[in-house]
Structure 1
Amino acid sequence: MEDRDWLILKTIYEEKNMSKAAQVLHVSQPALTYRLQQLETEFNTKIVHRSNKGVEFTGQGEYLAKYAVDMLNKLRMTKEIVESMENKVQGTLRLGVSRNFARYNLPPLLSNFLTKYPDIKFHLITGFSSEITDLVYKEEFHIGIIRGNNNWKEQKLLLAQEPVCIVSKSEIDSNSLPALPRIHYETEPSLQSVINNWWEENFTQPPFITMRVDRIDTCKEMVKNGLGYAIVPKACLTEDDILYQINLTTRDQKEILRDTWVIYRNSSLELTMIRAFIDFIKSIKQEGV
């Protein structure tokens, strides 16, 4: 079984469709089917069942696919460690980042890092913090930048904190919120939990939600046009967002803060580029940037 075969199994397993897998791998579908048949002969077992709806892996096939994912990860990590032995800051840093941090804070951070280490390349994915945490745990990504409270057991570094606030086009009385139209947006479960807990501590009535949108940017535009208020982390506000703001506080008047964390596995520190990135983050913290 060759490296290419591991990639073939991984891709078919992810796509669940031979035609789509062939497109991802840049091979013809007949060539992909032929190689899969050869693997079935080599292991003397049926790897997939085919139907009009796609492919379904057998028990043996699923075991081989997971083995392929594991071997590809180990091969990538081995190459990275060997490359890192030159003690030069280079390579591809695999970075998973919370969507809102990626939108508002990540571009200048990466730009400044590349200015210092121009031989670094990035493989970036954005998503919910829970998804990013899972990818770092599985060692599919080197570093995660996640938001909110977390139960990460290995290395983590507090990158930033910011208030969570009520925003509206004009001044409003926070005591009147249950009667005012609220714009709800899809967000991290951890942030939604913070907002819900704050609401339940302060009101017995549910919020008067008149709009539900999938992005915080859309939500802000609705607020700017006077269509309602929203509750957002302050990091999502820019200088152009001229909005009335009220920071959320606990009953004893302490600000409710949202944390941003950098997380990584202990084993990642074997790589020079990971150590360089962590040192860079620490320098940002010291400078108060």
Structure 2
Amino acid sequence: MDEKDWRFLKVLYEEKNITKAAEKLFVSQPALSYRLKQLEEEFDMKLFFKRKRGIEFTSEGEYLAKYANDMLKQLQQTKDGMLNMQKKVKGTIRLGVSSNFAQYKLPEILKEFSKQYPHVQFMVNTGWSTKVMDLLGTSSVHLGILRGDYDWNGERFLLDKERLCIISKSEIQLKDLPNLPLIDYHTDSSLKRLINRWWQETFTMPPLVTMETDRQDTSKEMVKHGLGYAIVPEICLRPSDELFVKGLSYKDGQPVLRDTWLMYQPDSLHLSVVKAFIEFLRNQQG
């Protein structure tokens, strides 16, 4: 087995489907199937079995997939360490980033960082903050940028605070919200909890949800067309949206804020490229 086989097994274990794994690996399905058959012959045991909608790993196959994942991590750590020995800010930073932050703020950050450190590359994995937590927990990324509050045993520092807002096509009164159409959207649990907490403190009846979308941006477009209102974090708002925006507050007058955190393991600071990126973010705050 070599690095190529490790990657085959890792992706196949994630996808549980040969066709999808082949597409992700940019190889043909017959080529992947042939190599998997060779691996079974090499180990002289059944590693996978077919199911109606994909494949399942046997106990031996799962053990081998875990080995492959561990070897890929060790290989990456070795490459990181060797680059770090050169005492230059050079190499690849692996980032897990909340989708909204990745869309609205990360591009400018990476652009400015690259001006100072042109020999640094980035591998960025985006998704809900819960996904970023999983990436951090499995050491798949050096750094995680998450929105909301999560338990974390490593290092962290606050990157930003943003307010939650009501958006609508024209001005509306907060007291009327329970009777107005709400355009809801799928999001991570931390934001849902924050919105629900404010709503339950403010109203005694549930919101009138008339639409549910898969993305925050889709909800915003519906609002632009006068189909209802939405509750969104201000990070996604632009003056060009031409919407009525009202910041939310609790009964005591405190604004409803959502935190954005940078999280990482202390060991990551041994890598000059990671240390430089963290210092860059800290300096930007100043």
Q: TM-score range by the shorter chain?
A: over 0.9
Structure 2 portions without partners, runs of 5+: none
Distance 1:179 1:90 in 2: 56
Spell out the pairing of 1:52-201 with structure 2 (5 A cutoff).
Answer: 53-201=53-201
Bigger CA drift: 36-45 or 162-171? Answer: 36-45
Residue-by-residue CA offset, 1:50-92 (whole Å, 9 max, x unaligned): 3564322101111110111111111111111111111111112
Q: CA deviation at 1:249?
A: 1.3
Partner of 1:4, secondary structure, is helix
Distance 2:224 2:192 in 1: 21
Match of 2:243 in 1: 243
| Equivalent residues of 1:98, 1:145 under 8 A apart | yes
The one-letter code matched in structure 2 to 1:84 is N
| Equivalent residues of 1:137, 1:265 under 8 A apart | no
The verdict on how the C-alpha distance between 1:170 and 1:57 changes in structure 2, with shifts beyond 3 A counting, is same
Partner of 1:64, secondary structure, is helix
Match of 1:208 in 2: 208
| Equivalent residues of 2:143, 2:264 under 8 A apart | yes
Match of 1:261 in 2: 261
The verdict on how the C-alpha distance between 1:243 and 1:69 changes in structure 2, with shifts beyond 3 A counting, is same
Bigger CA drift: 158-167 or 245-254? Answer: 245-254
The verdict on how the C-alpha distance between 1:65 and 1:173 changes in structure 2, with shifts beyond 3 A counting, is same
The verdict on how the C-alpha distance between 1:29 and 1:126 changes in structure 2, with shifts beyond 3 A counting, is closer
Distance 2:142 2:199 in 1: 36
Match of 1:234 in 2: 234
Match of 2:284 in 1: 284
The verdict on how the C-alpha distance between 1:36 and 1:238 changes in structure 2, with shifts beyond 3 A counting, is same
TM-score of the superposition, structure 2-length normalised? 0.93
Match of 1:10 in 2: 10
The verdict on how the C-alpha distance between 1:30 and 1:181 changes in structure 2, with shifts beyond 3 A counting, is closer
The verdict on how the C-alpha distance between 1:61 and 1:160 changes in structure 2, with shifts beyond 3 A counting, is same
The verdict on how the C-alpha distance between 1:162 and 1:32 changes in structure 2, with shifts beyond 3 A counting, is closer
Distance 2:51 2:228 in 1: 50
| Equivalent residues of 1:158, 1:260 under 8 A apart | yes
Q: How many pairs are equivalent?
A: 286
The verdict on how the C-alpha distance between 1:245 and 1:126 changes in structure 2, with shifts beyond 3 A counting, is same
The one-letter code matched in structure 1 to 2:10 is K
The verdict on how the C-alpha distance between 1:77 and 1:208 changes in structure 2, with shifts beyond 3 A counting, is same
The one-letter code matched in structure 1 to 2:58 is T
Q: CA deviation at 1:39?
A: 2.9
Distance 1:177 1:20 in 2: 44
TM-score of the superposition, structure 1-length normalised? 0.92
Match of 2:46 in 1: 46
Distance 2:237 2:86 in 1: 42
Residue-by-residue CA offset, 1:230-283 (whole Å, 9 max, x unaligned): 111111111212222222112211111111111111121121110010000000
| Equivalent residues of 2:202, 2:250 under 8 A apart | no
Distance 2:214 2:30 in 1: 40
Distance 1:255 1:100 in 2: 20
Distance 2:84 2:151 in 1: 30
Distance 1:170 1:161 in 2: 26
The verdict on how the C-alpha distance between 1:125 and 1:25 changes in structure 2, with shifts beyond 3 A counting, is closer
The one-letter code matched in structure 2 to 1:147 is R
Compute the RMSD of aligned alpha carbons: 1.8
